[in-house]
């Protein structure tokens, strides 16, 4: 098939939805389908044999688009609508495949051109407004709630990325359209020699400290302040390595670390390409996800499980859709509990047993053939 895909994101950037978009396109190529992607002006060009990228003109001179809802996306989405309509008018496509709020555009265009539509539901649209503290307006939240229902009702098939979204779609009466496709595929890691790895470890932990790793963005829902408060309470000889921050949020967390007296115990590394994350994971003795908000499963959880390293995570629905006491150390979302969980993971053989068991299970469960099979089922639903 020839697929027209709409992504209201900077593509490519190493963050949640763009990573998911990348693997959708890659998998469609594995199944023999070509993709024309209409997306925002920003992002790094990537090479996939089945992909043609059409970027919007940067008429607004946008330099950055933050994670989550923002007002700058409104005019960009209007331009996305116009560019996608032009593309449908000039070329023949078999399917419209839309991500996030662009699904509202995709549904309308698919109806006008008589094409099936797939909605890639990375999150609940009204919930995003609240999670990112974008608005408290009951009118705007209700508007997005209605938009979400409209998209679900008028899409032929729906991808959900976690159990929470599957349950939401079921409550809204669209279960038969949905397939759960978790974002568990990984970018291949760069090749690093033993000398490179040893040198990096010496650089991060020069006195032989244990390494506790957080990898991801520094948005408020991720719980970075909680992790820093927990770091203050951990007594083991340990360094906390936080990879993935950028901009004002990174500077704010550096300031908090200094305020808590953590100089020398916390190392910040700016956002790195996904291919470098495996290096940092290989250096870690314990992995941590202190997330406090949202209900989607963090992408990092799947690669963390595969790593065979002990994982400490807050005992919240965002995590325990996938995690349990059998494959992770789950803790209450407060600094003392998180500190105790990290200390347990550092010292306990039980934590390492759970990690090895988790890795064995995840490497069998989260495979490319299973991903392709699920995507094939979505395409079948859209075709009927």
Residues 153 and 202 in one domain: no
Q: Which of the four pLDDT bands, split at 50, 70 and 90, describes residue 294?
A: confident
CA–CA distances in Å: residue 83 to residues 51, 101, 106, 198, 236: 17, 16, 12, 49, 56
131, pLDDT greater than 70:
no
Q: Which of the four pLDDT bands, split at 50, 70 and 90, describes residue 64?
A: confident
- The arithmetic mean of pLDDT across residues 71-94, rounded, is 95
The residues near 128 (Cβ < 8 Å, ≥ 6 apart) are 68, 69, 134, 144
Residues 252 and 292 in one domain: yes
Q: Which of the four pLDDT bands, split at 50, 70 and 90, describes residue 88?
A: very high
Residues 164 and 300 in one domain: no
Q: Which of the four pLDDT bands, split at 50, 70 and 90, describes residue 357?
A: very high
Instruction: Report the SS3 class of residue 28.
Output: helix
Which residue, among 262, 215, 220, has the nearest Cα to 243 in the 3D structure? 215
Residues 169 and 232 in one domain: no
Lowest mean pLDDT among 32-41, 149-158, 178-187, 192-201: 192-201
Residues 212 and 298 in one domain: yes
% the chain with pLDDT above 90: 81
Peptide bond connecting 155 to the previous residue in cis, omega within 30 degrees of 0: no
Q: For the segment 26-54, what is each residue's pLDDT rounded down to a tens digit?
A: 999 999 999 999 999 999 999 899 999 99
Q: Say what the pLDDT of residue 140 is.
A: 87
Residues 202 and 345 in one domain: yes
Q: Say what the pLDDT of residue 383 is.
A: 87
Instruction: Report the SS3 class of residue 267.
Output: strand
* Degrees, nearest 5: CA angle 185-9-255: 85
Residues 86 and 124 in one domain: yes
Residue 119, domain extent: 2-185+367-383
Helices 16-30, 368-383: inter-axial angle, 10-degree rounding: 80
Residue 252: both structure tokens together: 């704010």
Q: Say what the pLDDT of residue 264 is.
A: 86
Residues 288 and 257 in one domain: yes
Max Cα-Cα span within the chain: 65
Q: Which of the four pLDDT bands, split at 50, 70 and 90, describes residue 239?
A: very high
Residues 131 and 211 in one domain: no
Give one DSSP letter per residue of 314-336, joined into a string.
ESSHHHHTT--TTTSEEE-SSHH
Residues 56 and 144 in one domain: yes
On average, the pLDDT of the chain sits at 94
Q: Say what the pLDDT of residue 179 is.
A: 97
Residue 257: both structure tokens together: 């670390």
Give one DSSP letter per residue of 78-138, joined into a string.
HHHHHHHHHHHHHS--SEEEEETTHHHHHHHHHHHHT--EEEEESS-HHHHHHHTT----H
CA–CA distances in Å: residue 383 to residues 95, 220, 294, 345: 9, 40, 32, 48
Q: What's the burial of 59, exposed, middle or buried (CB within 10 Å: 0-12/13-18/19+)?
A: exposed
CATH number of domain containing 359: 3.40.50.2000
Residues 52 and 102 in one domain: yes
Residues 161 and 291 in one domain: no
Looking at the structure of the chain, the number of domains it has is 2
Q: For the segment 241-291, what is each residue's pLDDT rounded down to a tens digit?
A: 999 988 899 999 999 999 999 988 999 999 888 889 999 999 999 999 999
């Amino acid at each position: 098939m020839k697929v027209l895909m709409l992504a209201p994101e900077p593509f490519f950037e190493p963050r949640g939805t763009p990573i998911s978009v990348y693997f959708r396109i890659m998998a469609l190529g594995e199944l023999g389908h070509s993709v024309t992607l209409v997306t925002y002006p920003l992002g790094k060009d990537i090479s996939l044999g089945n992909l043609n990228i059409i970027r919007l003109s940067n008429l607004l001179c946008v330099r950055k688009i933050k994670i989550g809802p923002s007002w700058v996306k409104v005019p960009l989405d209007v331009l996305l609508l116009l560019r996608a309509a032009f593309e449908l008018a000039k070329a023949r496509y078999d399917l419209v495949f839309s991500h996030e709020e662009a699904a509202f555009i995709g549904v309308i265009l698919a109806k006008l051109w008589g094409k099936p539509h797939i909605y890639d539901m990375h999150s609940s649209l009204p919930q995003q407004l609240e999670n990112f503290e974008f608005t408290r307006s009951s009118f705007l939240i209700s508007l997005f709630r209605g938009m979400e229902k409209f998209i679900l009702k008028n899409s032929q098939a729906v991808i959900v990325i976690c159990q929470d979204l599957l349950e939401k779609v079921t409550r809204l009466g669209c279960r038969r359209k949905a397939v759960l496709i978790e974002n568990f595929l990984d970018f291949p890691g760069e090749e690093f020699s033993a000398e490179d790895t040893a040198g990096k470890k010496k650089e991060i932990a020069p006195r032989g400290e244990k390494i506790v790793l957080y990898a991801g963005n520094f948005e408020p829902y991720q719980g970075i302040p909680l992790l820093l408060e927990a770091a203050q309470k951990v007594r083991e000889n340990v360094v906390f390595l936080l990879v993935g921050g950028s901009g004002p949020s990174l500077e704010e967390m550096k300031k908090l670390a200094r305020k808590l007296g953590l100089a020398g115990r916390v190392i910040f590394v700016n956002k790195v390409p996904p291919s470098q994350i495996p290096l940092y994971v290989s250096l870690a003795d314990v992995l941590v996800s202190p997330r406090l908000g949202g209900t989607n499963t963090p992408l990092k959880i799947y690669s963390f499980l595969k790593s065979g390293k002990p994982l400490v995570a807050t005992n919240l629905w965002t995590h325990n859709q996938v995690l349990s006491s059998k494959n992770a150390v789950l803790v209450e979302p407060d600094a003392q509990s998180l500190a105790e969980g990290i200390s347990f993971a550092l010292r306990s053989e039980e934590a390492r047993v759970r990690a090895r068991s988790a890795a064995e299970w995840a490497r069998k469960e989260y495979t490319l053939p299973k991903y392709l099979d699920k995507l094939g089922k979505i395409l079948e639903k859209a075709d009927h």
